[in-house]
Amino acid sequence: MYVQGPVAGLTLASLGADVIKIEQVDHADYMRNFGSAFGVQFDQRGKEWMYASLNRNKRALTLDIESESGRPIFHELIARADVFISNLRETGLAKMGADPETLQAINPRLVYCRGAGFGMRGPLAHDPCQDTVGMAYGGFMDITSQGEAPNYPPGSMSDILTGTNMASGVMAGLLKRGTTGKGCVVGTSQVQALMWLQLQGVGIAANMGQRVEPFNHDRTSNPVFTVYRTSDGWIAIAALLSPQWPAICRAVGLMNLLDDPRFETFAKVLDNRDDLRPILAAHLVQNTTKHWWDKLREAGLWVSPVNRLEQLATDEHILANEYLVTFDDGFVGPPSPFDVDGWRGARGDVAEYGEHTDEILAELGYDDDQILGFKAEGVVW
């Protein structure tokens, strides 16, 4: 449900896997009717997009896996599956009979993947967790903050990262199964995924007892490793090497700075950063982002415009790489987190609630009368 587990399935489905999403009878995934998120109110089309963004390219089955008649259906699915994925808590999965021991007894070759919150083990393993509190506990609200007040980047970033890492765990598990012939248990948690994302910042704190510098564009320790306002936006420059400093001066037409004792070397630029920043700021604001981007790109420097999210949908480079595509249902989004030998993601749409129930049951060998009986019992929908 929600984001983390569905993103794991989404990642695999984008690569062409046959993914069956199981929803409860008379209780669809909450994301099908999410009314708002991150300050945005959704109309019906918006609600459809929210769910589709996490669940496209999957088949939809409604099934009561705990019922007497539904359990054998679930077990038959498990017997035929390569992978089982869930982001429910361990205690809930055990109550439903969907724990690793039960399912791998049915299918010893099953790769069982679970996404957790605070961790797979330890004193918080059974605590409820979602994106917000995962970011809080994992230090992400701290490392992205400009000051003492925590910062919460919107967009379910922790959930999406964790779900993608779950899919990577699945692929590693399948590779292991290919070697051993046996299934295995894989998984990750929000906190583990965030620790990995922050491996440099966390490592500096753990090994050196120091904090990485919070980003503040007009107070960075390196005045050419930051962003500057232009006449119509912002430009990002990242210079870390000594030869890059004279190249910047040539590109932006400030060669006179190299004759200034304060800025004649890269080391002095860092020492006199507070003197340099206002000079660069006053100069770069006189022309457009594109102008400076062209000049700095021509010099081979690390540089980019600071794009707004709404600009990406029409960006030539984004579209050339198919990082955003139009799906069959008309929605626009990223089709895959990576390319595999030219494959750039499945482009299918999202299934309606229970859309493939009859189809999947027929594949399992149930006839029309049996399927009708299951519906009458409330085992499927």
Summarize pLDDT for 278-337 with one digit per residue, the tens: 999 999 999 999 999 999 999 999 999 999 999 999 999 999 999 999 999 999 999 999
Nearest Cα to Cα of residue 2 among 165, 170, 160: 160
Q: What is the mean pLDDT of the chain?
A: 97
Mean pLDDT value across residues 104-129: 97
What values do phi and psi take at 56, rounded to 5? -70, 160
How confident is the model at residue 146, as a pLDDT? 87
CA distances (Å), origin 140, targets 119, 127, 184? 16, 19, 30
Task: Indicate whether 269 pLDDT > 90.
Answer: yes
Q: Which DSSP state fits 258? A: G
Q: pLDDT tens digit string along 337-372?
A: 999 999 999 999 999 999 999 999 999 999 999 999
| Residue 89, beta-bridge partner list | none
The CA distance from 134 to 372, in Å, is 43
Please enumerate in sequence order all residues whose Cβ is within 8 A of that of 224, keeping only pairs 6 or more positions apart, or say none: 237, 238, 239, 244, 245, 248, 269, 276, 280
pLDDT at 254: 98
* pTM (two decimals): 0.94
Look at the alpha carbons of 174, 176, 181, 182 in this order and tell me if their dihedral is positive or negative. Answer: negative
Distance CA(172)–CA(235), nearest Å, equals: 39
Q: Which residues does residue 333 pair with via DSSP β-bridges, in sequence order? A: 325
Residue 210 buriedness (CB in 10 A; 0-12 / 13-18 / 19+): exposed
CATH superfamily of 4-201+351-377: Crotonobetainyl-coa:carnitine coa-transferase; domain 1 (3.40.50.10540)
* pLDDT tens-place string over residues 194-206: 999 999 999 999 9
Per-residue pLDDT at 147: 86
- 225-311: CATH topology: formyl-coa transferase, domain 3 (3.30.1540)
Average pLDDT over every residue of 69-74: 98
CB atoms within 10 A of CB 28: 18
**Per-domain residue ranges of the chain:** 4-201+351-377, 225-311
